[in-house]
Structure 1
């Protein structure tokens, strides 16, 4: 079902500082910040030859990333994103098998303007999983 690793997402308390650190210290190529109101975050992608790193900063106090940063004030790995051929079919099959799909279970548009769903971390050994349409 899952394909390649699309990205590793890291929640950060200061997106500008995190972007500068990756760009200036590691020489990484970074995207412009993109606010995603539907998900309550602003994202920046760090392009690597084999995958991406997504830096996430909360868009307001109601953001799930704000809650994550309350528990982890220095930031940290938030989720892994895997590609799937058909996110709606994958979501339905996983839900049928007992895996908890977060939210309504219906795919939303993600940072790459593709459908995504999130799977409950308790069903994947403490790791939040995002599935993105390939």
Structure 2
């Protein structure tokens, strides 16, 4: 099993609305999607296109959101996770489990509409890592 393309960098923010001007006006991003709620994961999401990947802005939908806990420790927000693509989520899950990695929950549908799971930071060099099945028909 090999990790594929870096799909996105997840950046937690207390407010997507307040973060968008930074990405648009300071960073010069022109491909900023519309924010949308992802209730199954307790977050609001907005993708910012860059030439070689995406930034996923993530805001908690409520106090039970895992992003709310992250923001309690990092009130200004910051990098939350990296996301890599794999061709087959079931194969990737089995491989990570064989390596002894701790998975955070079972595969579920993520913000791109494809299956995802997370690998515990302690097993990934200190970085929370999302593994995502590559979208059908490209990126």
Q: TM-score, normalised by structure 2?
A: 0.92
Structure 2: gaps spanning 5 or more residues: 135-139
| Corresponding residue pairs, total | 132
Runs of 4+ in structure 1 deviating by more than 3 angstroms, as ranges, are none
Matched residues in 2 for 1:19 and 1:88: separation?
A: 35
SS of structure 2 residue aligned to 1:73: coil
Report Cα offsets for 1:38-73 as digits up to 9, x if no partner: 111101010011100010000100000000000000
Q: Which runs of 5+ in 1 are unaligned?
A: none
SS in 1 for 2:52: coil
Matches within 5 A, 1:1-134: 1-28=2-29, 29-103=31-105, 105=106, 107-134=107-134
- When the two chains are superposed, the root-mean-square deviation of aligned CA atoms in Å is 0.9
CA deviations 1:85-121 (Å, max 9, x no partner) are: 1011101121122011111x3x110010000010001
SS at match of 1:60: coil
